[in-house]
Structure 1
Amino acid sequence: MRLIVSPFYDAAVNLALEEVYFKHSEDDLCFIYRNNASVIVGKHQNIFKEVNLPYCINNNIAYHRRISGGGTVFHDLGNLNISLHNTRREEFKVNYQPLLDLIIEAVKHFDIDLIQGERNDLYIQDHKVTGTACHVVRDRTIHHGTLLYNANKELLHECLHQPLKISGRGVDSVRSNITNLKEHVSQPLSEEEFFSQFIVHLSDILDAYIDYPTDQELETAIQLRDNKYTLDSWNLDYSPPFKAEMKIEGRDCIVEVEKGKIMHVDDEDISKKFSGTGFKELLLHTKET
């Protein structure tokens, strides 16, 4: 079994690699990666509701949509992402247990006992350290999760604090109190030391050999990054239709948005000015004014 460790910190590249392994491999494998500061929303979520986009844009924090469901997560170099890929060989049921058991067992090396929650997540006492999501197409599955070791909790809060009142379809995130593993280990390690040891223990548990993306896998991923994961058509416009209550140029308005574009505003003058404009551009405009 391959335990593939990404040498890249670009979230768009790693999300693309994850999709490459999902679509172009038939083997069971584990893919491990870390990203620079970024916000990743679930496939069926409204990114405008989940993420403070003006803050992210103004602070050069990436935002992307992934192919799996579930809620929004914040990534940075203090967070590890673990992705199990399988091809089913019997009647399939979504089963997070192998991923959860894998993380629980690997963390025991650091004298930490994790508690499994009711939503396929992991906790230290009542504070969350791991969230999970899955994606299934025919007989190919991904179950993946995060592991907080030393994430920037203040930055996480700023990125995920959306002050607007937004209504519409879409999967809403379930907010939880979080903690970092580093706050609970008896002998705190640097991020590099912790993740290096963690990966070695994963390989032992899985009886897997540590590997890296091949040139062909990376080439395919780069094409996918450029044609999907860096485009507003996927990251923003895939959001379901919604209405937002907001103040525009001093006026209280209700804005109707579809495929990332403003379709109508209940104020006639504002509607004439902004209809057809991207909602992202309106958010930046109102932030500036």
Structure 2
Amino acid sequence: MDNVIYIATTHNCAANLAGEAYLLGQDHDHILYLWVNDPCIVLGRYQNPFSECNLEAMERNQVQLVRRQSGGGAVYHDQGNLCFTFVGKKDEATKEDNFRIVLDALASLGLKGELSGRNDIVLDGKKISGNAFQTTKDKFCHHGTLLIKSDLSVMGNYLTPSNSKLTSKAVKSVASRVGNLQQAYPEITMQEVQDAFISAFCKVYGTTPITEIDFLHFAQAQDNYQLFGNRETILEKTPPFTHSLSNRFSWGEATLHLEVKQGTIQAARVYSDCLDTTLVPQIERKLEGILYGKEALRALAENETEPRMQELLNFLAGEL
């Protein structure tokens, strides 16, 4: 059989996903691809970044926003997390065979993982691996994460930042209890886990050549980089959603309904007990057509001369 193993040398998640897309087009029987990312949030194909992520905190701390082509929920990656991808022929490869390799790799390290729920792997009752799948015309792609010694304490800084009511056509992540392999095996290293994966793969498919590859500078993967890692494209392609919120302002009580499409407020509806009947239509006109985000609203507020409008814009900027 024509089998290959690739190990990514870059930690740029968008580049590594572009590399995965490239591997999907290669004519091999079985591929194992191992990759590790710098801090990033990876969205499922149909998710809403505005409701899943604290975009301002991510930008402030240089946490990359990425959207993969498979389904599932939003996840946090860093260099304590190993990503793995299996690519095989659609009529031959199965997720059951792939899971067996993952579980065998863990067992070789003295760790007894178990399949659970929505294609997860748990260890001692905690989720250590989430998995998602993608099928093309002739290939089956199975990729997953394996938490080794990830900084779990920062996940809450970047995922689902508020309780604001968002009604969306996109999928909401399912919260899960997660844990690291390090909790069961304190001395574990990334290299040990990678070696265990390779050994388990070769045990099934035979001795396989290993290639290290930098997909950030790999010409054949460049076309796909923007698809996965261009922040503006990701925000623009978010499915339409509405954001509803209420507040008592100095000029009265108001409830706002914002209709957002392609990262822009397409329509704004305001319900208020404000005595000035000219204010509500002014607010609606002001909001329509602007970018849905803190920076755009703050910039608008800074240039606003009408105090009541400025108060509302600053409130919205603080809520997003």
- TM category (shorter chain) comes to 0.7 to 0.9
Structure 1: stretches of 5+ with no match in the other structure: none
Residue 150 of structure 1: CA displacement?
0.7
Q: Provide the rounded CA distance (Å) in 2 between the counterparts of 1:152 and 1:68.
A: 24
Residue 242 of structure 1: CA displacement?
0.5
Structure 2 residue identity aligned to 1:62: Q
Structure 2 residue identity aligned to 1:26: D
State the partner residue of 1:276: 289
Q: TM-score, normalised by structure 2?
A: 0.80
State the partner residue of 1:194: 192
State the partner residue of 1:256: 259
- Equivalent residue runs for 1:72-151 within 5 Å: 72-89=74-91, 95-151=94-150
Residue of structure 2 aligned with 1:266, choices 269, 272, 282? 269
Q: 1:135 to 1:248 in 2, by over 3 A?
A: farther
Larger Rg, first or second structure (1 or 2)? 2
Q: Provide the rounded CA distance (Å) in 2 between the counterparts of 1:169 and 1:143.
A: 25
- Equivalent residue runs for 1:35-46 within 5 Å: 35-46=37-48
Deviation sequence 1:9-56 (CA, Å, 0-9, x none): 01111111111112x212121111010000000111112121111211
Q: Provide the rounded CA distance (Å) in 2 between the counterparts of 1:50 and 1:228.
A: 19
Q: Provide the rounded CA distance (Å) in 2 between the counterparts of 1:270 and 1:195.
A: 56
State the partner residue of 2:156: 157
Q: Provide the rounded CA distance (Å) in 1 between the counterparts of 2:9 and 2:248.
A: 46
Q: Secondary structure at the match of 2:293?
A: helix
> What do you get for the CA RMSD once the two structures are aligned?
2.6
Residue 178 of structure 1: CA displacement?
0.3
Q: Provide the rounded CA distance (Å) in 2 between the counterparts of 1:41 and 1:2.
A: 28
Residue of structure 1 aligned with 2:53, choices 47, 51, 54? 51
Q: Provide the rounded CA distance (Å) in 1 between the counterparts of 2:86 and 2:136.
A: 14
Residue 122 of structure 1: CA displacement?
0.3
Structure 2: stretches of 5+ with no match in the other structure: 271-280, 299-316
Q: Secondary structure at the match of 1:236?
A: helix
Is the Cα contact below 8 Å between 2:9 and 2:212 reproduced in 1?
Answer: yes
Verify: 1:61 aligned to 2:60, yes or no: no
Is the Cα contact below 8 Å between 1:182 and 1:188 reproduced in 2?
Answer: yes
Structure 1 residue identity aligned to 2:90: R
Q: Secondary structure at the match of 1:13?
A: helix
Residue 278 of structure 1: CA displacement?
2.1
Q: 1:214 to 1:50 in 2, by over 3 A?
A: closer
Is the Cα contact below 8 Å between 1:246 and 1:254 reproduced in 2?
Answer: yes
Q: Secondary structure at the match of 2:21?
A: helix
Aligned residues: 282
Q: Secondary structure at the match of 2:188?
A: coil
Residue 100 of structure 1: CA displacement?
1.6
Structure 1 residue identity aligned to 2:111: I
Q: TM-score, normalised by structure 1?
A: 0.88
Residue 283 of structure 1: CA displacement?
7.8
- Equivalent residue runs for 1:10-21 within 5 Å: 10-21=12-23
Deviates more, 1:127-136 or 1:231-240: 231-240
**Higher RCO (C-alpha under 8 Å, 6+ residues apart):** 1
Is the Cα contact below 8 Å between 1:65 and 1:234 reproduced in 2?
Answer: no
Structure 1 residue identity aligned to 2:288: S
